[in-house]
Amino acid sequence: MVITFICDVLGEENNGTTIATMNVIRSLRAKGHEVRIVCPDEDKKGKPGYYVVPPIWFGPFKHYVQSNGVCLASRKGMDVVKEALQGADIAHFNFCGFMSGKACDIAHEMGIPCTASLHTQAENFTNHLGLENVYAVNLAVYRKLYKSLFSKVDAIHYPSQFIHDLFEKKNHFHSKSYVISNGIQSAFQREDVKRPAEWDGKIVVTYTARYSKEKDHRVLLKAMKYSKHRKDILLVLPGAGPLEHQLRREAKKWCANEPVFGFHSRADMVKILNCTDIYCHVGTVDIEPVSCLEAISVGIAPVLTDSPRSSVSTFAIDKKLNVYNHRSAKDLARHIDYWIEHPEERKQNADAYLGFASRFDFEKSMDAMEHMFEQTIADYKAKKGQPVK
């Protein structure tokens, strides 16, 4: 197959959307398929397989957008899009932005079927305006996403049943859809890892997420104020994002031990998770929290938010022990303290998660994505009365 990925947003692999996108691209190329990538990243110019379009100029808001690590494609590069689509079997969209809707129209005019992945929730947009809790605004975003792109494509990829049900309910439609996990890399397994000397004697509590508002690191930092074992707890918070400096300041108020911040490679994350006693996932907005799945793949007892805008509570083996009230830092602290005070029960819970994570196998997910593309091409040709290979 020749597959053109049209990416309104790509950038560095420091966020879930880009990581998921690049994982699929690498898998498809390893299987022998040709993958072309349309994106607005200037640093990709001249690299094989990349087609770079002009980014949006945000004027006085440029610094804010850049601080969030985002470069968005404009509608000005449709000649580049057409070039990338020449001879393609299918076009795939990883994000609904200014370029994608028009690019989808062009692909269909060229007789090329289209698929799209829904990697974002409305709150990922509205939290930048302080409107993440306004129902009408979030609904308007879902309607806009549907009208601009997802009503046009021939099949939709949802990373979880949670976002499938939410999006189709909001827009009152039933799509040709595929629920396919982004998948967990096989590297995330239980290993015997020696802790760094400075971590010895500490209860290591880890939470991996982008430093942004909807990931709600503050509730975990604040929980340290209420924990009976705060002097023994070391928070490890791998990630990157615009709120890092603010979180570091707040950590000084609430944590007895300075947390570990910063972005880490996959190999380092495997080591960190194998040194972790308790994994907390507190983000209130999550389609499929892959970082949590990576943690439980290693075999760690988790404490998970019950936020209705996150799918993470569906990973709970024991609702009483694994799930806390997302509105309460005190309840989060109580759950953390329980696991600290009941190490045998914590180990049993952690061991139970080793088998749980197998359903999110990375290679199976990549095979399913390949099948989605193949099936969409076949369905499109059949609809057009064209011969199917």
What is the phi/psi pair of residue 311, to 5°? -85, 0
- Using CB atoms within 10 Å of the CB of residue 335, give its burial: 0 to 12 exposed, 13 to 18 middle, 19+ buried: buried
Please tell me the predicted confidence (pLDDT) of residue 68. 63
Per residue in 312-362, pLDDT (tens digit) is 999 999 999 999 999 999 999 999 999 999 999 999 999 999 877 788 999
Domains plus CATH for the chain? 2-183+361-383 (3.40.50.2000), 197-358 (3.40.50.2000)
Per residue in 231-255, pLDDT (tens digit) is 999 999 999 999 999 999 999 999 9
Reported confidence tier of residue 67, pLDDT bands at 50, 70, 90: low
Please tell me the predicted confidence (pLDDT) of residue 389. 66
Do residues 7 and 21 lie in contact, with contact meaning Cβ atoms separated by under 8 Å?
yes
Per residue in 107-118, pLDDT (tens digit) is 999 999 999 999
First to last CA, the chain: 12
Pairing of strands 90-93, 2-6: parallel
Please tell me the predicted confidence (pLDDT) of residue 66. 63
Please tell me the predicted confidence (pLDDT) of residue 288. 93
* Crossing angle for the helix pair 161-171 and 135-145, to the nearest 10 degrees: 90
**Residue in the structure block whose two tokens are 């020749």:** 2
Please tell me the predicted confidence (pLDDT) of residue 60. 66
Reported confidence tier of residue 35, pLDDT bands at 50, 70, 90: very high
pLDDT over 70 for what percent of the chain?
A: 97
The secondary structure of residue 326, as a DSSP letter, is T
Tell me the one-letter amino acid at 208. Answer: T
Sequence length of the chain is 389
**Average pLDDT value over all residues in the chain:** 94
- Give which of 336, 334, 358, 356 is closest to 346, Cα–Cα: 336
